Amino acid sequence: MAAIFDPGPAKKTNQSAEDSDYAASITSSLDGLRNALEQTTLLSAGTAATHPSEVLRIKSIHQISDYLIPRLSNLNAPLLAVVGGSTGSGKSTLVNSLLQDQISISSAVRPTTRVPVLAHNPADTAWFDDQRILPDLRRVQAEGAERASTTAGKGKVLLTPNSRVPAGIALLDAPDIDSISEDNRALSAQLLNAADLWIFVTTANRYADALPWELLTEAGVRDITVFVVLNRVPPGADAEIAPDLRRLLAEHQLDPSRLHVIPEVVLDANGFIPAEFVQDLRLWIESLASDAQERQRIAAQTLDGALKRTTADVGELLAELRDQHQQLEDLTQDVEHRFGLALKRATDALNDGALLRGEILTRWQDFVGTGDLLRGIEGAVGRVRDRIGSFFSGKPPAERRVEQAIETGLHTIFVSEITSACKDTELVWKNTPTGQALLENLPAAGPAADLEERAATCIREWQNDVLSMIRQEGSGKRKSARIAAIGVNSVAVILMVVVFASTAGLTGIELGIAGGSAVVGQKLLEAIFGEDAVRRMAAKARTMLHNRAKELISNSSSKYLDTIETNEQPEIISQLTTFVRSQGQKGQHS
């Protein structure tokens, strides 16, 4: 990707109309990207703010808010130079010494710098007093004794106007990059990412530490101007340490000529480094502040590097989101398959004759009777109907016991299959990182607490469906009379048994008893409604039961599918994809 603005020496200090239009376009794109990132959920990160993916997401948001958008709004705004470094490296002492004023509190107590201190020329107050940069940090000002109390708390930046700071540049004393405070470490990284240039302070003892070089490597990748201060160098060590540090800087794409060495010296009465040891650094800062063209070049270079880095970071987040989306799709398919299997198993149990075993078969036999009734099936159908009618006269409601047995059998099948499907689904989720995160968002593990009640309601509603169908089919006078002779509930029970009287799952004596008994009921129904009507009614009743079961099982799977859907982010993936592609295309055509 080519530079957004030409950082070359011939660049004019005023942005061209073309640059302004381009900046406005990029700003709009970045604003949308920031909103998308703020709404992004990375399931792998969970609630851990220190997870690498979450750190990258927050970093990208801050990079956009703290630096990219503010700098795009005006390339000529004063430069922000962040003074960063390790614990005890002497950052605050260096800032105070450069300005010959107690701007920052320096102390042996760690961490010293709890609130970042931003020193700027009074003429530049307007640039830093509003929320143009570091918008989530509240501006505070304090003098004298108030300054110490102001360094407590977080979410603030201490503004310190000082005429010794040359106009056109500001110095920000940041917390330690390796502070014992996690908040301070995060804030230090945020401030460094918001800088136009770094003044990075290290010591002879710690210049090769891993953490500083992680940050300096990032600075090299982003093409940030870095002025390194090697502080407290023991006598005679300069000849060995300085060349090694310059070599490391060059290897990390940083300018080795921007190295300033300060020997181990005694501080003066004010706690400042003697002026002669910071003079070269002070002159460099003053020279940069007085050269508007060079300031703009540095700003453009850092801006371009920050945009490239942000694009790469967003690309990394996008890859993770796409992988997360695929995992969610896989889990969705698994839920649909497993609960679809539950429906199939339930349907198979309804159709294979197994439901007529056990209690239902016994109650059905009580209902229709045996012996004479079965032998009399060859006689007039009216005689059979009379026998069944007389069976009810003055006797307990046997048809209700059959109905209850059917309810119990169906209830057992539905609850068992749904419970198994829930357990299997959650087991799959426990074995995937994304699934584990989803489990934490489930309303409750396992089937719904009211599953048994819902299953019972489902069965009762189907039974009502059957009753309604019988009343509708038997609306004629003759049919109504025949139904009344037996009872509509009895007719409904007979139809239910006919629905389940498939012989596919029955053998031996079960086949003879259940199959023969079902013939009794079917012949009776045919006498009332006609053969074609009974066949149609049985098929319709079976379909209605299937639909009720499907609805019950679908409702049971919805909590899993809803949890997945809540975490799907297709629009955010689309926004991130558009941004990354647009920046890649601009780079190709530049």
Q: How far apart are CA 411 and CA 394, in angstroms?
A: 30
Query: What average pLDDT does the chain have?
Result: 84
| DSSP state string for 416-438 | HHHHHHHHHHHHHHHTSHHHHHH
Do 266 and 345 fall within a single domain? no
Assigned domain for 306 exists = no
In terms of pLDDT, which residue wins out, 337 or 17?
Answer: 337
200: confidence class by pLDDT, cuts 50, 70, 90:
very high
* Residue 199 scores a pLDDT above 60: yes
User: If pLDDT is split at 50, 70 and 90, which confidence band does 239 have?
Assistant: very high
What's the pLDDT score for residue 53? Answer: 94
Does residue 261 register a pLDDT over 90? yes
Instruction: Give the end of a domain, one of 242, 272, 290.
Output: 290
pLDDT reported for residue 103: 87
Same domain? For 343 and 242 the reply is: no
pLDDT, mean of residues 265-289:
95
User: pLDDT for 114-128, tens place per residue?
Assistant: 789 999 999 999 999
Residue 288 has a pLDDT of 96
**Residue (of 73, 57, 67, 60) closest to 23 by Cα position:** 73
Residue 294 has a pLDDT of 96
What pLDDT, in 10s, does the model give residues 13-50?
Answer: 455 666 678 888 999 999 999 999 999 999 988 878 88
Question: What one-character-per-residue DSSP string does 386-401 give?
Answer: HHHHHHHTTS--HHHH
> What is the predicted pLDDT for the residue at 181?
87
pLDDT top residue among 385 and 530: 530
pLDDT band at residue 106 using 50, 70 and 90 as cut-offs: low
Kindly state the tokens that stand for 21: 């239009």
Claim to verify: residue 277 and residue 395 sit in the same structural domain = no
Type of residue found at 238: D
Share of the chain above pLDDT 70, in %: 81
Quote the CA–CA distance of 203 and 260 in Å, as a whole number: 11
The tally of domains found in the chain comes to: 2
pLDDT tens-digit map of 511-521: 444 445 566 67
Same domain, 108 and 172: yes
Question: Model confidence over 280-307: pLDDT tens digits?
Answer: 999 999 999 999 999 999 999 999 999 9
Range of the domain at 232: 77-290
Q: What is the DSSP letter of 376?
A: G
Give CA–CA dist 493/541, Å, rounded. Answer: 12
Q: Are residues 349 and 410 in the same domain?
A: yes
Residue 309 pLDDT exceeds 80: yes
pLDDT tens digit sequence for 478-527: 777 777 767 788 888 888 888 877 544 444 444 444 445 566 677 888 88
CA dist list (Å): 559 to 167, 348, 426, 447, 566: 61, 25, 12, 9, 10
Stretch among 102-106, 210-214, 377-381 having the lowest mean pLDDT:
377-381
Q: Could you tell me if 250 and 363 lie in one domain?
A: no
pLDDT for 361: 64
Whether 70 maps to a domain, the answer reads no
Are residues 265 and 175 part of one domain? yes
DSSP string, 468-525: HHHHHHT-SHHHHHHHHHH-HHHHHHHHHHHHH---TT--HHHHHHHHHHHHHHHHHH
Do the domain assignments include residue 176? yes
Query: Higher confidence at residue 381 or residue 253?
Result: 253
Choose among 415, 487, 427: nearest CA to 457.
415
C-alpha to C-alpha distance for 534 and 548, rounded to whole angstroms: 21
Q: Which of 269, 290, 311 is the last residue of a domain?
A: 290
State the CB neighbour count (10 A cutoff) for residue 141: 12
Any domain includes 552: yes
Percent of the chain with pLDDT over 90: 59
What is the predicted pLDDT for the residue at 131?
Answer: 83
CATH number at residue 256: 3.40.50.300
| Residue 112, pLDDT score | 52
Position 500 scores a pLDDT of: 79
CA 386 vs CA 377, 380, 474: distances in Å: 12, 10, 18
Residue of 259, 301, 299, 266 whose CA lies nearest to 281: 259
Q: When comparing pLDDT for 287 and 7, which is higher? A: 287
Phi/psi for 84 (5° steps) reads -125, 170
Residues 331 and 277 in one domain: no
pLDDT tens digits for range 140-193: 986 543 454 455 567 899 999 999 999 999 999 999 999 888 889 989 999 999
pLDDT beyond 70 at 320: yes
253 or 12, which is more confident? Answer: 253
Q: In a 10 Å sphere around its CB, with 0-12 CB exposed, 13-18 middle and 19+ buried, how is residue 307 labelled?
A: buried
Look at residue 198 in the predicted model and tell me its pLDDT: 97
Query: Which residue has better confidence, 438 or 534?
Result: 438
486 vs 430, higher pLDDT: 430
Residue 510 lies in a domain: yes
Give the list of residues 6+ apart from residue 280 with CB closer than 8 angstroms, or none. Answer: 260
Same domain, 237 and 179: yes
Average confidence (pLDDT) over 422-441: 94
Q: Give the SS3 label for residue 159.
A: strand
Residue 525 forms part of a structural domain: yes
Please report the pLDDT score of residue 391 as a whole number: 41
Q: Does residue 212 belong to any structural domain of this protein?
A: yes
Domain final position from 271, 290, 309: 290
Is 368 found in the same domain as 277?
A: no
Are 482 and 425 part of one and the same domain? yes
Reported as a pLDDT band with limits 50, 70 and 90, residue 360 is: low
pLDDT band at 368 (very low <50, low <70, confident <90, very high): low
Structure tokens at 105: 């509190």
| 28 found inside a domain | no
What pLDDT, on the 0 to 100 scale, is given for residue 387?
45
In a shared domain, residues 341 and 461:
yes
